[in-house]
Amino acid sequence: MPLSTPLALPNGAVIPNRVAKASMEENMADAGQLPGPALRALYSAWARGGAGLILTGNVMIDGRAMTGPGGVVLERDTPREPFAAWARDARAGGAQVWMQINHPGRQVFAAMKGEAWAPSAVALDLGKHSNLFAQPREMTPAEIAEVVTRFADTARAAEESGFTGVQIHAAHGYLISQFLSPLTNRRTDAWGGSLANRARLLLDVVKAVRAKVSPAFCVSIKLNSADFQRGGFSEDDAKQVLRWLNELPVDLVELSGGSYEAPAMQGRAADGRTLAREAYFLEFAKDLAAVATMPVMTTGGIRRRAVAEQVLASGVAMVGVATALAVRPDLPAAWFAGRETDVPLQTVAWKDKGMAGLAGMALVKRRLRALAAGQGAPRAYSPLFTLIVDQVRTKKLGARYRQWAGR
């Protein structure tokens, strides 16, 4: 099947082709945690690049809980115009543009001084780097209900702002993923224990979001194919969750994997399994796509047309491309024109895997800022210098965030 083939979704919407710009965390919000000229310029570049679906980076449903100080926040009372301008620029090329909406749960940096809610008070275990993150506390039933409402309110606000859909983030160790995993969810009430209880938050969020938006508005999920941690959320768990999602009006499921503790989304598992060098989760996605009644998408290091075509040939409906589109935003258009166009990605091979992961993310964010500034030609950056610059920038953004949040 050609990559240029349109994809009809269960709700009747159509994605113009099978290549998606997958989510990357930009941390490029303006003052007030709002999208501004930098984010608009970045998404304008992707709008011109040919992807049929553009997924935003994390948009937080609660300004008290952030993945980073430069994150965008959209709550019920947030001004709509900055988001409407962002949506207009991102949709200028005819793509579907979906907002990824998220709550980080326990994955909140301690320096943010935010609310680290979690299903259970289980702190991140990152060895000597564990103290970078806040100590989480177990959520009350009222707080769980509040989170469900916040997801729905943010989805409604996204539709009102001109986005064509949302992606509910239930992967990568964020809050919904924490509820799904028996490693992080040790509750003994209605939200813990059995998989049915651990999946309750995700299913309730989907139902609440769908009830708040129009039928034509797309509702999708980002789900781990596995946590890649021993004793965590497994492939069998993912299959069962997909069966439950089959009963709900879900338009697409993106399959990824990992968390901050086991960053499989960066190509590194923590349970001894070896991931592919490209299309990390394809083998898992093939099995899970056989269970799903809605279209399935997979991401994970894809940068070559031949691999993207292999994904479609395997029965997976959409190909998600992330870091490669930070390097070359017009990669989909190049593929549609028949060019192979490999995109070499810069990696960090430090012994300290935690610091290597932070440096890798800093490299991507630096490239995103360069792209937004119109610096089209990519170049190699010093990982160490980039990490230092990123830490300084994060500290400044953290001070701005704390002032905004009154902390």
Report all structural domains of the chain as residue ranges with CATH numbers, in order of start.
7-346 (3.20.20.70)
The mean of the pLDDT values for the chain is 91
% pLDDT > 70, the chain = 93
Query: How is residue 407 written in tokens?
Result: 């902390």
Is-contact 266 281, C-beta < 8 A?
no
State residue 344's pLDDT score: 78
Helices marked H in 161-234: 175-180, 195-198, 200-212
User: What is the mean pLDDT of the segment spanning 78-87?
Assistant: 98
Report pLDDT for 227.
Answer: 66
**Regarding predicted confidence, which is higher, 128 or 79?**
79
Strand 7-8 and strand 14-15: pairing? antiparallel
Distance from C-alpha of 25 to C-alpha of 102, rounded to nearest angstrom: 11
* Buried residues in 8-36 as b, exposed as e (16+ CB within 10 A): ebebebebbbbbbbbbbbbbbbbeebbbb
Between strands 137-138 and 165-170, the pairing is unpaired
Average pLDDT over residues 9-31: 97
Task: Please tell me the predicted confidence (pLDDT) of residue 231.
Answer: 76
Q: What is the spatial distance between Cα 166 and Cα 155, in angstroms, rounded to a whole number?
A: 6
Average pLDDT of the segment spanning 254-278:
56
Q: Which two tokens stand for residue 380?
A: 């190699």
Amino acid in the structure at residue 249: P
Backbone angles phi, psi at 34, to 5 degrees: -110, 150
pLDDT at 272 over 50: no
Phi and psi torsions of 275, nearest 5°: -95, 155
- Quick one: pLDDT at residue 269? 43
pLDDT of 268: 46
Q: Give yes or no for a contact between 228 and 270, defined as CB atoms under 8 angstroms apart.
A: yes
Whole-angstrom distance, CA of residue 183 vs CA of residue 255: 20
Q: What is the rounded average pLDDT of the residues 98-108?
A: 96
Model's pTM, two decimal places? 0.94
In the structure, what pLDDT confidence band is assigned to residue 326 with cuts at 50, 70 and 90?
Answer: very high
Check pLDDT > 80 for residue 279: no
Strand-pairing partners, residue 19, are 319
Q: Binning pLDDT at 50, 70 and 90, where does residue 339 land? A: confident
One-letter amino acid identity for 240? Q
Q: What is the structure's pLDDT at 355?
A: 84
pLDDT given for residue 177 in this prediction: 95
- Ramachandran assignment for 261, one of left (phi > 0), alpha (psi -120 to 50 degrees), beta (any other): alpha
